[in-house]
Amino acid sequence: MPTSICPECSEPVFVDPEFEQGSKVICDECGAALIVVGLDPIELDLKDESNSDDMSDSDGLGTYDFDDDRY
């Protein structure tokens, strides 16, 4: 069975070979909610638990820097 490393606790996480990119996985060691982001090799990332559609400012997306003097 394919494995990857939990980004939260650094322990091995077993991933079902039938899973596809975007599949959800739970780390047995720490209980972190993870998502499959890569398939070859298997890569996991923490699943975003927020229920908001707003983009986080910490990722740099959704922010822009320009002057608009029309208003």
Say what the pLDDT of residue 7 is.
96
Q: What is the pLDDT of residues 20-52, one digit of tens each?
A: 999 999 999 999 999 999 999 999 999 986 544
Q: Which residues contact 37 (CB under 8 A, 6 or more apart)?
A: 21, 43, 44, 45
What is the rounded distance in angstroms from the CA atom of residue 61 to the CA atom of residue 20?
26
Contact 47, 35 (CB under 8 A): yes
Domain 3-50 fold: Rubrerythrin, domain 2 (2.20.28)
Express as a percent the part of the chain with pLDDT over 70.
68
Domain ranges of the chain: 3-50
